[in-house]
Amino acid sequence: MAEQTITAERESSLIEAVPKRLFINGEWVDAEGGATLEVLDPSTGRLLCTVADASEQDGWNALKAAEAAQPGLAAMAPRERANILMRAFELMHERKDDLALLMTLEMGKPLSDSYGEVTYAAEFFRHFAEEATRISGSYQTAPAGGARFLVAKQPVGPTILITPWNFPLAMGTRKLGPAIAAGCTSVLKPAELTPLSMLALADILHEAGLPAGAVNILVTSTAGKVMEPLIRSGIARKLSFTGSTGVGRKLLEQASERVLRTSMELGGNAGFVVFEDADVDAAVAGALLAKMRNTGEACTAANRIFVHRSVIDEFASKLAAEMDKLPLGRGVEDGVRVGPLVDAKQLDKVDALVTDAVEGGAKVLIGGTPVDRDGYFYPPTVLTDIPSGARMRQEEIFGPVAPLTPFDTEEEVISWINDTEYGLVNYVYTESLRRGIRVAEAVESGMVGLNQGAVSNPAAPFGGIKESGLGREGGDTGIEEFLETKYIGIAM
């Protein structure tokens, strides 16, 4: 990461340079009637800029462009699709200073986190560039002889992609990479709080040679109204969503009307378990990462930290000391490791969850009340003695709050971990390989970090079970979500 001093002039010239219109059919266009929405800087609460605010008609224009571009993209040589993704990967690296700063300005995360995300996001393009030329099928003799089975893969068709504000770039490239690799066109709707990163990415894809209409970017303040008719139309054959379980449920219902393929990356309520035989310092470092990355605004964030009673005092004091050391401030400032939350709603939610736990008897080791300054800041907070009825045992905190609860037995902690409708990821710290595998198998989640506090990797299958979602992104399964299997039975 290149830490640098960012001047107000650098911030405003960067914002100035971002295209602030809709990207439809390879062109930048205003929204119908010239409507715009405001993008704020969460570290000050002040206006950064306005961008075009799409109407239902703009939505239809984007979907029609994706539909028209579909046959061309499907017919394009896989190597050419791979080359476009590789060029986009390289351009993202060339422009990493701009992309990282833009993300920090619109979302608030510290620049160090933004640099990490640019690298992570670009990696999806490289990974899927490599996958694009490996799409293959099979040929088989029927078990009874006679016929042959030819099995081929084809793109599912136009797609609708909806992404959240917490990882404005990576959640986009994680969907666009496999869509382009598989030969699927798309309409992508970024979160209205953080549209700038995706608008900058549209410029990169265009420059990398993506044909007009293959990716269309639709920013709107009326997501439900604009997206629902598009989803229900059946023109797109696939819906991929990352966001809250509540919205995911609604979208699944809409997608069912025309039986769209769906991928859903929804909420999480990760457990983080530290056994008595764990390396406590490694567990503290892992918890710091799993809790504080992105200022806690991640569906993979450690939401419930369970520590064996024999080591909880040591763990709690070390974690509190580490969290207390993290400098808080505007994400653009040198050395800052804790940025603001994304908006006032998020700040109020975190504050309400902490207040609820404290009123129920939780003890505050550090933090515990919002920071008194402009912007939406909540300080690193460590709580112990979390009452079993506390809302934060069931709800995603999405902030820099670490709730610690002691446990006595393996059986007890596994049952607590699984006592949630979510099932995205859990983290397990133990020096015993046998116990590690046993617990990893017993916890109900799509992913497990065994002695590590971060699992995301573009080459690994990311996704949840239970109400955390459907399908996997990344890995060798990620592209399958954008491919149909066609079986051709051949008489011989």
CA–CA distance, 229 with 386 (Å, rounded to integer): 44
How far is residue 375 from each of residues 47, 309, 330, 343, 410, measured CA to CA in Å?
A: 12, 38, 9, 8, 42
Site residues for ligand ADP, window 105-164 (CB under 6 A)? 162-164
Angle (CA) 441-446-450 rounded to 5° is 55
- Which residue's Cβ has the minimum distance to ligand ADP? 243
Q: Which of the residues 117, 123, 297, 299 is marked catalytic?
A: 299
Does residue 324 sit in helix, strand or coil?
Answer: helix
Between 41 and 192, CB nearer to ligand ADP: 192
Write b or e for each residue in 19-54: b if 16 or more Cβ atoms lie within 10 A of its Cβ, otherwise e: bbbbbbbbebeebbeebbbebbbbbbeeebbebbbb
Here's the x/- map for ligand ADP, 247-266, by CB under 6 A: it reads as x--x----------------
Whose tokens are 């045992």? That residue is 393
Q: Give the C-alpha distances (Å, rounded to integers) separating 121 from 183, 197, 288, 300.
A: 19, 11, 22, 16
Cβ 239 to ligand ADP, closest distance in Å? 9
Residue 430 C-beta: closest distance to ligand ADP, Å: 32
- For ligand ADP, the binding residue among 15, 69, 191, 236 (CB under 6 A) is 191
Distance of closest approach, residue 262 Cβ to ligand ADP, in angstroms: 13
Among 227, 305, 320, 390, binds ligand ADP (CB under 6 A): 227
Is 299 noted as a catalytic residue in this protein?
yes
Nearest approach, Cβ of 231 to ligand ADP (angstroms)?
8
Q: How far is the CB of 363 from ligand ADP (least distance, A)?
A: 29
* Residues in contact with ligand ADP, shown as a per-residue x/- string from 25 to 44 under the rule CB under 6 A: --------------------
Helices (H) and strands (E) in the chain, counts: 14, 20
Determine the straight-line distance between the first and last CA of the chain, rounded to whole angstroms.
61
Catalytic residue (one of 265, 297, 467, 473) = 265
Nearest residue to 467 via CA among 439, 446, 481, 453: 446
Q: Could you say which residues in the range 196-225 bind ligand ADP, by CB under 6 A?
A: 223-224
| Residue ranges in 95-155 assigned as alpha helix (H) | 96-107, 111-132
Total residues binding ligand ADP (CB under 6 A):
13
Return d(Cα 183, Cα 342) in angstroms, integer: 34
Interaction between residue 244 and ligand ADP (CB under 6 A): yes
Q: 146 vs 224, which CB is nearer to ligand ADP?
A: 224
Active-site residue numbers?
265, 299
> Which residues contact ligand ADP (rule: CB under 6 A)?
162-164, 189, 191-192, 223-224, 227, 243-244, 247, 250
